[in-house]
Amino acid sequence: MATEIQSGKVHVQTTINGESVDFLAEPRESLLEVLRDNLGLTGAKEGCNNGNCGACNVVMDGVLVNSCCVLSVEAAGASIETIEGVASPEGLHPLQQSFLENAALQCGVCTPGFIVAAKALLEENPNPTEYEVRWWLAGNLCRCTGYDKIVRAVLDAAERMRAEA
């Protein structure tokens, strides 16, 4: 639900990582801004603010999106998953574990976006080829790793998840 209130701000009700959340936002604010600056969910990063780097990836109603290109008011009534919701109280997601074990990050600023994107891939295709991984992740830029270890980490996690399934 989104209700406009007097200050020109809009009251938005949404669900983030399974919890219902309310916020006030200016209509011009992006979902990324609201996540980071209003809600303190700073795991999603801004690398470009125009859909070219994937650092801000979140999943909205089951679809991988660049949150810098979504207006925050569009989150009304939606269900949003961010990097903060990927690990569970029991432990890390296999992708997170695999990124650590495969040394698939250097500076780490692209990592939340890659993990959110890769999780969306594996939910759609649990057994991707190396090409399919590279194709899916082509919307995420990493300037540090040269992608090699990231691609291996995703393939590795996919294998573990299939073994556990």
Partner 1 sequence: MAVDTRVGQTIKHHDEEYKVIGTRPIRHDGLEKVTGEARYGSDINLPGQLHGKVLRSPHAHARIVSIDTSGAEALDGVRAVITSAAFPDPGDKLTGGGEAPGLPLKFKSANMLARGKVHYHGHAIAAVAAANPHVAAEALKLIDVEYEVLDPVLEVWDAMKPDAPVIIEDLYTAKADGTTAEEASNVAAEMLYEVGDVDAGFAEADLVVDREFTFGVVHQGYIETHNATAHWLKDGHLHVWCSSQGAFTIRQELADLLDHPITKIHVVPMEIGGGFGGKTTAYLEPLAALLSRQTGHPVKMAMDRADVLKATGPTPGGYVRVKLGVTNDGMITAGYANLAFDAGGYPGSVVGAGCRCVFAPYNMPNAKVEGFDVVVNKPKTHAYRAPGATHAEFASETVVDEICRTLDIDPVEFRLKNSAKEGDWQLAMPPYPRIGHIECMEAARDSAQWQTPLETAPGKKRGRGIASGFWFNIGFTSSVTAKLNSDGSVTLLEGSTDIGGTRTSIAMQFAETLGISVEDVDPIVADTDSVGQTDVTGGSRVTFATGLAAHNAANDMKDQIVEGLADLWDVAADSITHADGTFSANGNSATVGEAAGLLEEEGVFPIGKNTVTPTREGGAFAVHIADVEVDDETGKVEVLRYTAVQDAGVAIYPPYVEGQMQGGVVQGVGWALNEEYVYDDDGHLLNASLLDYRMPTALDVPNIETIIVEVPNPGHPYGVRGVGEVPIVPPPAAMANAIHDATGVRMSHLPMSPARVQAALAAEA
Amino acid type, 16: I
The whole-angstrom separation of Cα 58 and Cα 136 is 15
Residues linked to residue 59 through DSSP beta bridges, in sequence order: 64, 81
Q: Which does 68 bind (CB under 5 to 8 A by kind): partner 1, ligand FES, none?
A: ligand FES
State which of positions 14-73 bind partner 1 (CB under 8 A): 26, 28-29, 36-37, 40-50, 52-53, 55
Cβ atoms within 10 Å of 50's Cβ, excluding its own: 9
Give burial (CB, 10 Å; 0-12/13-18/19+) of 49: middle
* Contact criterion met (CB below 8 Å) for 122 and 161: yes
Of the residues 8, 27, 37, 51, which one makes contact with ligand FES according to CB under 6 A = 51
Q: How far is the CB of 163 from ligand FES (least distance, A)?
A: 27
Residue 24 DSSP SS3: strand
Pick 12 or 33: Cβ nearer partner 1? 33
Which residue matches tokens 């691609």?
Answer: 151
Please choose which of partner 1, ligand FES, none residue 152 contacts, taking the beta carbon within 5 to 8 angstroms, the exact cut-off set by kind: partner 1
Residues in the site for ligand FES, rule: CB under 6 A? 46-49, 51-56, 66, 68, 105-110, 142-145
Residues in the site for partner 1, rule: CB under 8 A? 26, 28-29, 36-37, 40-50, 52-53, 55, 82-84, 86-87, 92, 96, 99-103, 105-112, 115, 133-135, 137-152
